[in-house]
Amino acid sequence: MTRYDLALIGFGGVNRALAELIAERGDTLEAELGFGLRVVAITDLRAGSLVRTDGGAIDLAPLLAVAPGELDFSGLAGGSPDPRNEWVIREAPADIVAEATFTNPADGEPALSHVRWAIEAGKHVCTTNKGPVALHGRALQELARRHGVCFEFEGTVMSGTPVLRTARRMFGGLAVHGFEGVMNGTSNYVLGRVESGLSFADAVAEAQALGYAEADPTADIEGHDVQLKVMILANEVLGADLRRADVPCTGLSALTDDDVRRAAAEGLRWKLVGSAARRPDGTVEARVAPVALPAEHPLAGVCGPVNAVAFHTDLLGAVTVAGPGAGRVETAYALLSDVLAVHERTANLAGAELLQEAGRG
């Protein structure tokens, strides 16, 4: 049975949820997917680092029994108070690096360096960070190709909902002219609550209290999160090469409470829409902005934390993919689906090599 050893970079909500899946459902996953998973290294900004170098796996149960903010790896065998991210990524005996730290949308760091270190070390890497993919995706994919490893990032656009793989694998024979998406649950929730009568300020505060919005909600409310997702989708699905400057971004601060309620009274619903379309000359234009959508629009009924993307195709018209756009477990599933993609690719390569050997024989 094939087995993959994982290094978890960041042990916050997402990678912790992935560890829970492995600890609680490991045997079931092995039977269903055809490969086993073990965690051999973990790094975390607050807890430090923990690495098994003796051929064994980290016992996840006692770690998961401790509250996230109280973890301290320094007192454990193989533990250190220092995250040692570069050393762990390059030197730990892992096959796959699961990168789920924070990212700076201006330069993609520190996630960008984490991804590069893993690829340069000859390790497959899966990330949920939008920054490295949106800002440097093409270069990282080329680096991974040169090193013969996989670079997977399904969770960067719609959490566990497989919008990227759906577009890549299911749209064969279709010409995709563009897309429109509601790709941020926080802004969507806030707009819905304003429609219901709350002020913007109260709706944002409620979203924060429920855990839908960060202490600083600017990236969600002003569209910067969606901007990166539009770049990833346009570059992957439309073959574009967009930079942040190519995607003008207008956030919810452009709207007033009255704008939202007046539109609702007229049968329209404001949504923060990220879109991209191919021009006649083959170039791609994109933007993020609030749009008042009619009831019949495929995105008008997308509510709360649900995300959706409507792809515009030549033969089928609008094809809409909808599902959870956030959540620790949902995003952890995206990492699991990335591991499955790594397994499928390596299995296919191994099969091709066997066929070549048989042909030479």
Active-site amino acid positions: 229
Cis peptide before 62 (omega within 30 of 0): no
Three-state SS at 344: helix
Contact call for residues 215 and 223 (beta carbons, < 8 A): no
Give the whole-angstrom CA distance, residue 212 versus residue 189.
8
Closest CA to 59 of 45, 48, 73: 73
Residue 149 corresponds to which amino acid?
Answer: V
Residues in the chain: 361
CA distance 351 to 257: 59
Q: If you write DSSP's letter for every residue of 14-72 in order, what string do you get?
A: HHHHHHHHHHHHHHHHHHHHSEEEEEEEEEETTTEEEE--SS----HHHHHTS-GGG--
Do 40 and 93 meet the contact criterion of CB atoms below 8 Å apart?
yes
Q: What are phi and psi of 348, to 5 degrees?
A: -65, -40
How many Å from the N-terminal Cα to the C-terminal Cα in the chain?
27
